[in-house]
Amino acid sequence: MSRAEMLFSHPTSFQPVDLKRRIFSAVPKANHRERLLMLAQSSREDVMASQHPDHGRLREQAFDTSSDPQIVLDPSGALVATNAAARKQFNIVASAIGQPFRDVELSYRPAELRVAIERAREARHETTLNGVRWDQNGVVRFVDIVAAPLFDDDRAPLGMRITFVDVTPIKSLQDQLVHSKQELETAYEELQSTNEELETTNEELQSTVEELETTNEELQSTNEELETMNEELQSTNEELHSMNDELRTRSTELNEANAFLEAVFTSLHSAVVVLDREMRVLVWNDGAANLWGVRADEAQRTSFFTLDIGLPVGDLHQPIRDVLSGTVTHREVTVPATNRKGKPVLCRVDVSPLRAAEGAVIGAILLMDDTAPA
């Protein structure tokens, strides 16, 4: 009996039968969940003073109706109790009670709680995760999550209580405070900057007034220069009119000369081809078109040696080079060829230099005549 009298840490385990004779009887033991709830909500003095059988239910109701979501874990990490706020906020179903907490979604969402729980268990004091963002159905809130280890009177671990404290209003006020502070700092900086700008602007205005006075004098001088330029432009305009008339006359003469040359080339019975120094075709008369079956618009500006005609143009490469180099003034070559009708002919090609007015060789003139077949 004397040993039972010393169990002060378990005052609810016995009830008196005869205090005078110090006779006690054991009362039904509370389950593990009720013991954790008692430790989570009450101090040792409350437990020692509690002898009324309804106080356990009262403590359980107090825990269940707490406005902050709370859950309780046993030493093995199993979920043993949740209050109404936790069940509502985190959709914890009854079947989750007794399950390992690591298998419950709440263990990793809205935050990774398993690490915090392990840290609190090892440190043997509560651990807090501050300002955890919690997005619930599109509504963003912030909570402080407190993991507090629970111990018996001998400091032996009984489990873990996890509390979720909604700090959204505080977080909102903190954000507003930070934002207001930033706006105040920005406004102060802008005010200082504006003051400096006003001083600078004042100096610039004074300088601008002086510049405007100088500019006015320059404008007067420029106006006089413009009047002089206007007179010069009128004179230049008259000269341009004269030059335009002259260009129009020369253009007419050039057109007539081109028409004359075209008539000359057309009238020639021989095939006439004129090449520039890069061997590109400049002139391809009707005789060449009739002889080789290639139109003038197809041949012009095309390399002579890339034309697909019945004339072996490769045999003319060296004679044309000789004439363009100025080493000879005339070359004549007779080569077998096939005209546009597919008839074999002997083609006599007369290569002469095309000279500019100052005498420089600027191209080659090829006269082609077909003779009797080979």
Q: How would you write the chain as a 3-class SS string?
A: CHHHHCCCCCCCCEEEEECCCCEEEECCCCCHHHHHHHHHHCCHHHHHHCCCCCHHHHHHHHHHCCCCCEEEECCCCEEEEECHHHHHHHCCCHHHCCCEHHHCHHHCCCCCHHHHHHHHHHHCCCEEEEEEEEEECCEEEEEEEEEEEEECCCCCEEEEEEEEEECHHHHHHHHHHHHHHHHHHHHHHHHHHHHHHHHHHHHHHHHHHHHHHHHHHHHHHHHHHHHHHHHHHHHHHHHHHHHHHHHHHHHHHHHHHHHHHHHHHHHCCCEEEEEECCCEEEEECHHHHHHHCCCHHHHCCCEHHHCCCCCCHHHHHHHHHHHHHCCCCCEEEEEEEECCCCCEEEEEEEEEEEECCCCCEEEEEEEEEEECCC
Q: Which of 366, 368, 374 is nearest to 345 (CA)?
A: 374
How high is the pLDDT of residue 15? Answer: 56
**Is 149 found in the same domain as 206?**
no
Q: Which of 297, 296, 302 is nearest to 279 (CA)?
A: 302
Q: Which of 358, 356, 338 is nearest to 347 (CA)?
A: 338
Do residues 160 and 147 make contact, with C-beta atoms less than 8 angstroms apart? yes
Does 88 reside within a domain?
yes
CA–CA separation, 191 vs 208, rounded Å?
25
Name 174's Cβ contacts closer than 8 Å, sequence gap at least 6.
none
Does 41 reside within a domain?
no
For residue 232, CA distances in Å to 81, 105, 226, 276 come to 104, 92, 10, 44
**Is 107 found in the same domain as 199?**
no
**Is 212 found in the same domain as 123?**
no
- The tokens describing 42, both together, are 């009450």
**Is 214 found in the same domain as 142?**
no
Does 50 reside within a domain?
no
Does 20 reside within a domain?
no
For the stretch 120-170, pLDDT in tens is 888 899 888 888 887 877 788 888 889 899 988 888 888 899 998 888 888
**Is 304 found in the same domain as 283?**
yes
Domain boundary among 207, 235, 266: 266
Domain boundary among 166, 191, 210: 166
**Is 137 found in the same domain as 229?**
no
- Number of domains within the chain: 3
Domain around 128: 64-166
CA–CA separation, 250 vs 244, rounded Å?
10
How high is the pLDDT of residue 198? Answer: 92
**Is 70 found in the same domain as 160?**
yes
**Is 323 found in the same domain as 278?**
yes
User: Locate tokens 């697909």: which residue?
Assistant: 308
Does 116 reside within a domain?
yes
Q: What is the dihedral of CA 277, 283, 287, 288, to 10 degrees?
A: 50
**Is 70 found in the same domain as 150?**
yes
**Cis amide bond preceding 75, omega within 30:** no
Positions of the chain with pLDDT under 50: 1-10, 43-50, 374
Domain boundary among 166, 183, 215: 166
**Is 162 found in the same domain as 93?**
yes
Does 352 reside within a domain?
yes
**Is 283 found in the same domain as 253?**
no
How high is the pLDDT of residue 3? Answer: 41
CATH code assigned at 140:
3.30.450.20
Does 9 reside within a domain?
no
**Is 272 found in the same domain as 262?**
no
